[in-house]
């Protein structure tokens, strides 16, 4: 191929990327930069500050440290991520993946049923869970646990954080299961056979072989799932709006409430910058440690 | 010899565990399915005393449900098409280029993918407000005054579809770029070069060679973009305020917030209608899911 052809192709490639670049720049990169800028101002949604935002330096960040609402949202976010993605989804997803590798019938049925909660939109998920959880003694959950003598209650008010953890676990088992299945299928069958020949029990096989060999997959899952769980908004907003009393106010909900309910755009942006930092750090670890091939 | 099949202990445990898990996964759906056909549906699970299709009929006749559904279909459909086109062009370029910016660009895509939309929502609102002002001035200079409002509903950035479509597309674009790039990596360059030798121009090469070869990739990217945008709640919540422009998720959410005039049968039917396209798309996209979740590490 001649030189002009190559330079034309290079030019063509750059042109083909322009529309994608414009979209990403306008709606993701510039806003991300603007978040940093706004976080140094006293910008507001209404009132005097909305028309004349002032530069206030690090004031918003200083305020973060003494703001109970912010620390509360960090703690809630931690428990939410830990409870639903690190424990709930992971344990149930891994167990489902292992169970589905047994020679059993109805495998597609089991598979589809576990995938279904992941396929429905967030609003539908919270709509159907309200029927499970709200309404005291009439709710489905109250009626079920009533059989075991546990008193009925308004679950989203008595144990709200636990309930959003349960709902998010329900929604995300499929994600863990799919990843773990792909990880398990990469383990050669001979490894298991050899272990069985040597007289290993199923329990030994799981702890000594399956789990160690799954380690890269598990690490990948933890990273992707943590980043995804921190970003959740609609599911919690539609279930509790972060209430009661901030009990389910994960950081994304806190940003939204500060910005659009309390109208404090500058302060909300300072929280957003912290959240951006954490997420990008997770992404950077992902790229570095897993040596993504590009 | 049915019934005499002997289970191993591992199989028995597997069946037991999977049954419990499946009950947990499906139980919440029981209410919405029953309520959608129950003439006396309430918020609580009960066996219907009769079966009716009224709730579904009502979506298309009496209430705003059909309008919301159509609004969602138009905006999400347009966003999906845009993602496939823009992502197709960009993904092709990313696959074929060897320029110095290729690696940084791909790493940047991964980082962009982990940015939570909630962290961007305030500055995004400002960007949209600014763009809306520009567009408003443009529209006012072209369109007669009494048509400005309706034109802005289509071309506006705040409370208008054009802006919403662009934002929804931008959010789905990184994944689409990644998937399509991976697919083009697997399609041999030789076909293109052969077509080039035969004198095919750029458009012929795209139409005859590239699109047919990349169809699975474009399809997967389109399905996943559709699922993401269809389920999105934050963007329509923030950027659409007129009741007539409302998308299905917000309409549904607002309707079940108004506790005093709740029609649970109707809302259940609407919820089922809303989840149907997502579930179908999810089923079709299933074999691409590992890629989605991991950002292409197994690509």
Mean of pLDDT over chain A: 86
Q: What is the pLDDT of residue A103?
A: 83
* Cα B124 to Cα B132: distance, rounded to the nearest angstrom: 12
For residue B69 the two structure tokens come to 């559904």
Q: What is the pLDDT of residue A80?
A: 94
Is B219 part of the contact surface with chain A (CB cutoff 8 Å)? no
Interface test with A, best of B23, B28, B93, B221 (most A CBs within 10 A): B28
Same domain assignment for residues B72 and B197: yes
Question: Measured between beta carbons, which residues in chain A are less than 8 angstroms from residue B228?
Answer: none
Mean pLDDT over residues B10-32, rounded?
Answer: 89
Q: Distance between CA atoms of B252 and B237, rounded to whole angstroms?
A: 12
Residues of chain A with pLDDT under 70: 1-3, 48-49, 51, 290-294
Other Cβ atoms within 10 Å of A7 Cβ, number: 10
Query: What is the structure's pLDDT at B260?
Result: 61
Write down the domain spans for chain A. Answer: 67-290
**Same-domain status, B131 and B72:** yes
B144 burial class (0-12, 13-18, 19+ CB within 10 angstroms)?
exposed
Residues of B with Cβ-Cβ distance to A10 under 8 angstroms:
97, 99
Total number of domains constituting chain B: 2
> Same domain for B60 and B45?
no
Name the β-bridge partners of A55. Answer: A41
- Taking Cα atoms as reference points, which of B193, B231, B269, B179 lies closest to residue A233? B231
Give the per-residue pLDDT at B86: 95
Q: Which pLDDT value is given to residue A292?
A: 62
User: Distance between CA A53 and CA B114 in Å, rounded?
Assistant: 30
CB proximity under 8 Å: A 104-163 to B: 104, 109-110, 113-125, 127-132, 134-135, 138-140, 143
Give the nearest chain A residue to B291 (CA atoms).
A179
| Amino acid B7: pLDDT | 73
Q: CB of A50 within 8 Å of any CB in chain B?
A: no
**CB spacing of A140 vs B294 below 8 angstroms:** no
Structural domain that includes position B225: 56-294
Based on the domain organization, do B38 and B137 belong to the same domain? no
In angstroms, rounded to a whole number, what is the distance separating the alpha carbons of residues B158 and A204? 59
**Distance between CA atoms of B263 and B266, rounded to whole angstroms?**
6
Contacts of B234 in chain A (CB under 8 A): 233-234, 256
B42 plus B188 within the same structural domain = no
Same domain, B69 and B28: no
Q: Map tokens 């049915």 to a residue.
A: B2
Rounded distance, CA B13 to CA B3, Å? 18
Domain boundary among B12, B35, B52: B52
> Is B100 domain-assigned?
yes
pTM of the model: 0.88
Do B2 and B104 share a domain, yes or no? no
Q: Which residue of A has its CA nearest to B43?
A: A131
Residue carrying the six token digits 């979209």:
A23
| Six-digit token string for B296 | 């292409």
Residue to substitute from B43, B89, B120, interface A, most A β-carbons within 10 A: B120
* Residues of chain A positioned with their CB less than 8 A from the CB of B102: 294
Q: Does residue B109 sit in the same domain as residue B23? A: no
Place of tokens 């121009």: B201
- Per residue in B66-121, pLDDT (tens digit) is 889 999 999 999 999 999 999 999 998 888 888 888 888 888 888 888 888 998 98
* 8 A C-beta contact, residue B257 and residue B210: no
Residues of A whose CB is below 8 A from B279:
116, 119-120
Let me know: does A223 contact A173? Beta carbons within 8 Å: no
**Rounded Cα–Cα distance for residues A168 and A164 (Å):** 6
Query: Could you give the CA distance from residue B49 to residue B27 in angstroms, rounded to a whole number?
Result: 20
As a whole number of angstroms, the distance between CA A202 and CA B12 comes to 13
Question: pLDDT value at position A294?
Answer: 57
Where does A67-290 sit in CATH, by number? Answer: 1.10.3720.10
Chain B (112-141) residues lying within 8 Å, Cβ to Cβ, of chain A: 112-124, 126-127
The enclosing domain of B260 has a CATH number of 1.10.3720.10
Q: Does any domain span residue B299? A: no
Provide the shortest C-alpha distance from residue A74 to chain B (in Å).
14
Does B262 or A192 have the greater pLDDT score?
A: A192
- For the residues of A70-132, what is the DSSP string, one character each? HHHHHHHHHHHIIIIIIIIIHHHHHHHHHHTTSS-S-HHHHHHHHHHHHHS-HHHHHHHHHHH
Q: Is B295 on the interface with A (CB under 8 A)?
A: yes
- On the question of pLDDT at B1 being above 50, the answer is no
Name the phi and psi angles at A105, rounded to 5: -90, 175
Co-location of B9 and B126 in the same domain: no
- Can you give chain B as a three-state secondary structure string? CCCCCCCCHHHHHHHHHHHHHHHHHHHHHHHHHHHHHCCCCCCCCCCCCCCCCHHHHHHHHCCCHHHHHHHHHHHHHHHHHHHHHHHHHHHHHHHHCCCCCHHHHHHHHHHHHCCCHHHHHHHHHHHHHHHHHHHHHHHHHHCCHHHHHHHHHHHCCCCCHHHHHHHHHHHHHHHHHHHHHHHHHHCCHHHHHHHHHCCCCHHHHHHHHHHHHHHHHHHHHHHHHHHHHHHCCHHHHHHCCCHHHCCHHHHHHHHHHCHHHCCHHHHHHHHHHHHHHHHHHHHHHHHHHHHHHHCCCCC
Helix (H) or strand (E) holding A263: none
Average confidence (pLDDT) over B146-150: 83
Nearest to A98 by CA among A90, A87, A86, A106: A90
Chain A touched by B97 (CB under 8 Å): yes
B203 assigned to some structural domain = yes
Neighbours of B122 (CB within 10 A): 30
State the smallest CA–CA distance between residue A158 and chain B in angstroms. Answer: 19
User: What pLDDT was estimated at residue A264?
Assistant: 79
Those of residues 191-210 in A touching chain B at CB distance below 8 A are: 202
- The predicted structure's pLDDT at residue A77: 93
What is the distance in angstroms between the Cα of B1 and the nearest Cα belonging to chain A?
Answer: 16
Long-range CB pairs of B21-24 (<8 Å, 24+ gap) are: B21/A92, B21/A95, B21/A96, B21/A110, B21/A114, B21/A173, B22/A109, B22/A110, B22/A113, B22/A114, B24/A170
**Using CB atoms within 10 A of its CB, is residue A80 exposed (0-12), middle (13-18) or buried (19+)?**
buried
Residue with token string 């931690």: A78
pLDDT digits (tens, 9 = 90+) for B156-194: 888 889 999 999 999 999 989 988 888 888 777 777 778
In a domain, B79, yes or no: yes
In sequence order, which residues have a C-beta less than 8 Å from that of residue A161 and are 6 or more positions away? A76, A79, A80, A83, A247, A248
Nearest to A122 among B174, B231, B296 (CB): B231
Q: Which pLDDT score, from 0 to 100, does residue B226 have?
A: 94
Please indicate, yes or no, whether residues B44 and B103 belong to a single structural domain of this protein.
no
pLDDT at B42 over 60: yes
Q: How far is B275 from chain A (nearest CA, A)?
A: 5
Shared-domain flag, residues B186 and B227: yes
* Domain co-membership, B154 together with B8: no
Q: Do B122 and A224 touch (CB under 8 A)?
A: no
CA–CA separation, B190 vs B79, rounded Å?
32
């Amino acid at each position: 191929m001649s030189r002009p052809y190559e330079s034309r192709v290079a030019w063509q490639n750059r042109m083909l990327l322009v529309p994608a670049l414009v979209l990403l720049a306008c709606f993701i990169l510039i806003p991300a930069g603007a978040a940093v800028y706004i976080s140094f101002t006293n910008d507001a949604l209404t009132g005097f500050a909305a028309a004349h935002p002032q530069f206030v330096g690090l004031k918003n960040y200083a305020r973060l440290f003494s703001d109970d609402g912010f620390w509360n949202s960090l703690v809630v976010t931690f428990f939410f991520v830990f409870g639903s993605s690190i424990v709930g989804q992971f344990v149930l997803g891994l167990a489902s993946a292992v169970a589905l590798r047994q020679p059993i019938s109805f495998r597609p049925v089991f598979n589809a049923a576990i995938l279904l909660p992941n396929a429905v939109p967030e609003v539908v998920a919270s709509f159907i869970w309200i029927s499970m959880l709200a309404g005291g003694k009439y709710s489905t959950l109250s009626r079920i646990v009533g059989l075991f003598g546990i008193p009925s209650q308004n679950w989203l008010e008595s144990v709200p954080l636990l309930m959003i953890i349960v709902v998010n676990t329900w929604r995300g088992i499929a994600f863990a299961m799919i990843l773990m299945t792909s990880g398990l299928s990469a383990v050669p069958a001979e490894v298991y056979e050899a272990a069985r020949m040597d007289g290993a029990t199923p329990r030994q096989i799981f702890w000594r072989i399956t789990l160690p060999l799954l380690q890269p997959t598990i690490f990948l899952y933890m990273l992707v799932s943590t980043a995804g769980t921190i970003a959740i908004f609609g599911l919690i907003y539609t279930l509790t709006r972060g209430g009661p009393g901030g009990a389910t106010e994960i950081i994304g909900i806190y940003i939204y409430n500060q910005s659009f309910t309390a109208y404090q755009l500058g302060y909300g942006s300072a929280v957003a910058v912290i959240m951006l930092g954490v997420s990008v750090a997770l992404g950077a670890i992902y790229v570095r440690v897993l040596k993504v091939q590009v | 010899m049915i019934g005499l099949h002997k289970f191993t202990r591992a199989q028995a445990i597997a069946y037991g565990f999977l049954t419990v898990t499946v009950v947990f996964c499906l139980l919440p759906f029981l209410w919405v399915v029953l309520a959608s056909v129950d003439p006396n549906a309430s918020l609580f699970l009960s066996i219907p005393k009769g079966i009716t299709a009224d709730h579904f009929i009502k979506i298309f006749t009496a209430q705003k449900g059909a309008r919301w559904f159509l609004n969602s279909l138009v905006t999400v459909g347009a966003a999906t098409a845009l993602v496939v086109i823009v992502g197709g062009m960009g993904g092709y370029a990313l696959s074929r280029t060897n320029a110095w910016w290729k690696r940084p660009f791909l790493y940047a895509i991964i980082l962009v993918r982990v940015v939570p939309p909630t962290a961007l929502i305030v500055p995004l609102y400002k960007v949209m407000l600014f763009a809306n002002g520009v567009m408003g001035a443009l529209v006012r200079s072209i369109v007669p005054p009494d048509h400005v409002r309706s034109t802005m509903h289509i071309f506006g950035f705040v409370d208008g579809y054009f802006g919403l479509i662009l934002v929804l597309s931008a959010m789905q674009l990184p994944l689409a770029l990644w998937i399509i790039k991976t697919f083009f990596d697997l399609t041999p360059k030789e076909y293109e070069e052969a077509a080039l030798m035969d004198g095919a121009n750029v458009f012929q090469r795209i139409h005859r060679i590239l699109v047919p070869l990349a169809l699975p990739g474009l399809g997967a990217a389109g399905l996943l973009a559709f699922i993401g945008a269809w389920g999105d709640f934050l963007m329509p919540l923030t950027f659409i305020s007129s009741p007539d422009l409302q998308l299905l998720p917000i309409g549904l959410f607002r309707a079940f917030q108004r506790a005093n005039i709740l029609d649970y049968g109707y809302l259940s039917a609407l919820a089922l209608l809303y989840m149907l396209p997502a579930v179908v798309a999810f089923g079709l996209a299933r074999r691409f899911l590992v890629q989605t979740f991991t950002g292409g590490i197994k690509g």
